[in-house]
Amino acid sequence: MANVAVIGAQWGDEGKGKVVDWLASRADIVVRFQGGHNAGHTLVVGNQTYKLSLLPSGVVRGKLGIIGNGVVLDPQALLDEIARLGAQGVAVTPRNLRIAENVPLILPLHPALDRAREAARGAAKIGTTGRGIGPAYEDKVARRAIRLCDLAEPETLSAKLDELLRHHNTLLQGLGAEPFSKETLLAELLDLAPRLLAYAEPVWQRLDRARREGARILFEGAQAVMLDIDHGTYPFVTSSSTVAGNAAAGSGIAPSAIGRVLGIAKAYTTRVGAGPFPTELHDETGRLIGERGREFGTVTGRPRRCGWFDAALVRQAVKVGGIEALVLTKLDVLDGLPELKIGVGYEIAGRRFDHLPAAPGAQAAAQPIYETIEGWQGSTRGARSWADLPAAAIKYIRRIEELVEAPVMVLSTSPERDDTIVMRDPFAD
């Protein structure tokens, strides 16, 4: 039985929550391998809506959730999310959540630095979620991060905080922000330590055992390929590797164990935060899509920018992200539009490109080359079989498959879990 990894194929918010929830119900273990509480997944189960940021979606379904070493973990955000879920009747305990002992922590100084830097950038800001994700990953790579395991060694923690604060307080003060006190941080961390350490373990061992026992493992990506630190629209990206290859390094498992890689894509495109977006619509159609698709950020509540489906962009995500098949979501948002456009490439300074080049100037100048395709009149919302779809909607999907060079394996037709058309079981070998 194959394992499955799910990643976003655009700029995030593709509807991963529902898809991951649907897949999680058939998995034994759900693993987060990158990102942090900058992610936002909305799960609708019956009449309950769960909003998850850091916890693997499977915990709502009673599955074992694992937070891998590739994540950056904000201890307070984790405990708050556990408390919120508890209030909704979902108990999260060390029985159903395990956290890599070597996961780096987000401390209060990280969001402070994130926000101070964004303020200093002014008009050139990235539009981060302000959660300290970038600064926390910087500390990891600079080898000065506080990791979960350090909470068990107060002396190590104390020495590491000295080093960390030497760096951060200098930066914060340079940006006109308040410095942090070591004593306060140390006391706060030691206070949280017993609650957090209860979840800590070498998760790679558990994953290795699970794999040998034939358990089904689902790797749940956050953000998306176009926000990847290497392959995305740099510098307007997040600070982690969002491609499927990182599921192995970010959890401590063999690359061969990742299994099938699914990319989630909306039937159109959205983006939150700043950065290039060639097929963005600034007109009434863009506004309509945003309104119908309820395109507001789960984490920040910011309205999302909306535009046509960009097949050149998704094809690029398919190639660099290792995506084998797509899950297409929110097709119903396009119901009733007389005609649709699909981006098939770009024109940049008089030259045609079949991909988005890496240089920022070229990305900003990229003009989409469109193909126009007929819309459909009927409703696709809630469709549960191919036969329920209007012929023009099927044509739209088939054209997307051709252009992105990947099949659509699953079609999601509403936020409800059962409103899903499955062309092929993703867990099947």
Instruction: For residue 368, count CB atoms less than 10 angstroms from its CB and return exposed for 0-12, middle for 13-18, buried for 19 or more.
Output: buried
Angle of helix 109-121 relative to helix 133-141, nearest 10 degrees, comes to 110
Binding mask 203-222 for ligand IMP (x = CB under 6 A): -------------------x
Catalytic, out of 41, 110, 168, 231: 41
In sign, the C-alpha dihedral spanning 288, 290, 291, 292 is: positive
Tell me whether residue 132 or residue 343 sits nearer to ligand IMP (CB atom): 132
Considering the rule CB under 6 A, would residue 238 count as an interface residue with ligand IMP?
yes
Considering the rule CB under 6 A, would residue 227 count as an interface residue with ligand IMP?
yes
The set of residues, in sequence order, having a beta carbon less than 8 Å from that of 42 and lying 6+ positions away, is 17, 18, 49, 50, 51, 52, 298, 415
Q: CA-CA-CA-CA torsion for 189, 31, 14, 274, nearest 10 degrees?
A: 40
Among 3, 10, 38, 285, binds ligand IMP (CB under 6 A): 38
Q: Which residue is nearest to ligand IMP (CB)?
A: 273
Sequence-ordered strand ranges (E) for 122-212: 200-201
Q: Which residue has the tokens 């140390």?
A: 186
Considering the rule CB under 6 A, would residue 246 count as an interface residue with ligand IMP?
no
Structure tokens at 274: 């700043």
Q: How far is the CB of 12 from ligand IMP (least distance, A)?
A: 3
Considering the rule CB under 6 A, would residue 380 count as an interface residue with ligand IMP?
no
Please identify, among the stretches 79-87, 235-243, 348-356, 407-415, the one whose residues bind ligand IMP according to the rule CB under 6 A.
235-243
Considering the rule CB under 6 A, would residue 106 count as an interface residue with ligand IMP?
no
State the pairing for strand pair 260-266/41-45: unpaired
Torsional class of 42: left (φ above 0), alpha (ψ -120 to 50), beta (otherwise): beta
Q: How far apart are CA 103 and CA 139, in angstroms?
A: 12
Angle of helix 182-197 relative to helix 154-174, nearest 10 degrees, comes to 130
Active site residue 41: yes
Binding mask 120-159 for ligand IMP (x = CB under 6 A): ------xxxx-x-xx-------------------------
Active site residue 167: no
φ and ψ of 191, to 5 deg: -70, -40
Q: How far is the CB of 343 from ligand IMP (least distance, A)?
A: 19
Positions 257 through 276 that interact with ligand IMP (CB under 6 A):
272-273
Please identify, among the stretches 55-63, 104-112, 232-240, 373-381, the one whose residues bind ligand IMP according to the rule CB under 6 A.
232-240
Among 223, 233, 279, 413, binds ligand IMP (CB under 6 A): 223
Among 34, 42, 233, 239, binds ligand IMP (CB under 6 A): 239
Positions in the binding site for ligand IMP (CB under 6 A): 12-13, 38-40, 126-129, 131, 133-134, 222-223, 227, 236, 238-239, 272-273
Question: Looking at the annotation, which residues are catalytic?
Answer: 13, 41
